[in-house]
Structure 1
Amino acid sequence: MKVFISADIEGTAGIAHWNEAERTHPDWAEFRALMTGEVVAACEGARAAGATEVVIKDAHDSGRNLLLDRLPDYVRIVRGWSGHPDEMMFGIDAGFAAAIYTGYHSKAGAEGNPLAHTSNLRISRLLLNGEVASEFTFNALCAAGYGVPSVFLAGDVGICAEARAMVPGLATVETLDGRGRAATSISPAWSRRLIREGVAAALSGDFAQALPATADRYEVVIEFSTPTEAYRAAWYPGARAHGPRAVAFEHREFSEILRALLFLKV
């Protein structure tokens, strides 16, 4: 059994400030270690359930966060950014049995995490078919495009609730709950234990149907923080202005939505 892990940091237990997520700040060293610990716990849970191989996409910022010497020997890791439209899911394919997500966070505009955002801080909201979407929204649909179910997510309370509503049967571990600029978190040690046990249980059950609903056609709307960003993005082929700070793009294939996003949001 091959398992894919997409690892972010802003939903890691204990995190509360952007300094802790930015590699140029001294605080980052501590929180990259905590991010790595949660990923290792997920790997151990997958192994306990029978995984023979785990592929990890380091999916935060530079894509070079995880402490490699702490990873088990049955792991392969994707570091950096290839430029492929799968982005945070790059490396996944139809050969994987399941997708797992660690360190995930609430979407832009949400209040459940002081670090809530979607993709980057230039975007105020990202909508898919009229609903405000998170990074998980797009990543779970990306996995589903390869026929890979999403079975487990660890992150803040808001993204856990969204993920459970989107994917039937998906298991979660709630690491923290944000209020304003503060976050109330479980301890990192407890988070690692829950992740290890949660992943093992999720992969030991019947998870084949843990797939999000798909649509006949998709429309993505990006609401930027400034009108200048929207003006630039509107020049992408097929994109159109959608108000003073937003652009829209639609297509019947979700893979084309991901391709467009790669260029629209930069």
Structure 2
Amino acid sequence: MKVFISADIEGTAGIADWDEALKERRDYSEFRELMTAEVVAACKGARAAGAKEILIKDAHQTARNLIVSKLPDYASIVRGWSGHPHVMMFGLDRSFDAALFTGYHAKAGTEANPLAHTMNDRISRLIINDEVVSEFTVNAYTSALLGVPPVFLSGDRGICDDARALVPAIGTVAVSEGFGRAALSISPARAIAEIREGVEKALSRDLTACRLDLPKHFDVEIEFNNPTDAYRASWYPGTEHPRERTLRFVSDDYFEVLRALRFLTV
């Protein structure tokens, strides 16, 4: 079995403030360790379920967060941003049997995580086919594009609920819940244990139950907080600018959607 892990940090147990998630901030080092511990737990669960190869994509901010010396010897890691449209899923291909997501967070505009956002803090909402979506939705569709089922996610309760709405059979571990600018979290020790157990259970089932069918058409709207950001990005080929803060891109090809998002959201 060959497994891919996309690892973010804002859905790591205990996180409640940007000081804990950004590399240049004072509290980052502690939560970098906790992010790493949750990824290692996912690796151990995958190994127990029979995984022979594990590829991790460090998928937060600089993409250089995970403490590589703590990763197991059977795992490989992609660090840094290649510039490829797969972004947080870079390295995934059709040879993988399953995709896992750790440390994922609620979408922009929700209260499920004090750090809720989608891609960056300049975007107020990302909408695909009239539904407000999260980074998980974008990345799960990337997985589906490559024929790889998304089988497990850990993060805040909001993103776990969204993941199950999109992929009903997906295994989830909710480690926290947002209340305004506060977060109620289980302990890191419990999160680590539940992620390990959850990943092993998710990978020990019939993985085809988590296969996700891509929509046949994509109508994408990006709502920015600032109209100047929308204007600057509106020159991407094929992009419409229907309202001051909004861009629209339409395609039947999801890779073209990913390519557009790669340039429209930077």
Q: Normalization by structure 1: what TM-score?
A: 0.99
Between the aligned residues of both structures, percent identity stands at 60
**Post-superposition CA distance 1:158-193 (Å, at most 9, x none):** 000000110131010001000000000000000000
**Separation of aligned partners in 2, 1:72 and 1:138:** 28
Residue 15 of structure 1 aligns to a residue whose secondary structure is coil
Whether the 8 Å CA contact 1:169–1:207 is kept in 2: the answer is no
Residue 209 of structure 1 aligns to a residue whose secondary structure is helix
Residue 116 (1) aligns with residue 131 (2): no
Aligned to 1:189: 189
**Separation of aligned partners in 2, 1:86 and 1:250:** 18
**Post-superposition CA distance 1:137-175 (Å, at most 9, x none):** 010000011100000000000000000110131010001
Aligned to 1:84: 84
Residue 11 (1) aligns with residue 11 (2): yes
Whether the 8 Å CA contact 2:156–2:175 is kept in 1: the answer is yes
Aligned to 2:221: 221
Q: How many residues align?
A: 266
**Separation of aligned partners in 2, 1:2 and 1:215:** 26
Divergent runs of 4+, >2 A: none
Gaps of 5+ in 2: none
**Post-superposition CA distance 1:106-138 (Å, at most 9, x none):** 000011000000000000100011100100001
Residue 125 (1) aligns with residue 129 (2): no
Gaps of 5+ in 1: none
**Post-superposition CA distance 1:56-103 (Å, at most 9, x none):** 000000000000010000000000000000000000000000000000
**Separation of aligned partners in 1, 2:219 and 2:184:** 35
**Separation of aligned partners in 2, 1:75 and 1:248:** 39
Alignment root-mean-square deviation, CA: 0.6
In structure 1, what residue type is equivalent to 2:140?
A
Matches within 5 A, 1:151-162: 151-162=151-162
Whether the 8 Å CA contact 1:168–1:211 is kept in 2: the answer is no
Matches within 5 A, 1:243-258: 243-258=243-258
**Separation of aligned partners in 1, 2:3 and 2:207:** 13
Whether the 8 Å CA contact 1:219–1:249 is kept in 2: the answer is yes
**Separation of aligned partners in 1, 2:222 and 2:193:** 37
**Post-superposition CA distance 1:32-64 (Å, at most 9, x none):** 000000000000000000000100000000000
Residue 125 of structure 2 aligns to a residue whose secondary structure is strand
Q: Normalization by structure 2: what TM-score?
A: 0.99
Q: Displacement, 1:212?
A: 2.6
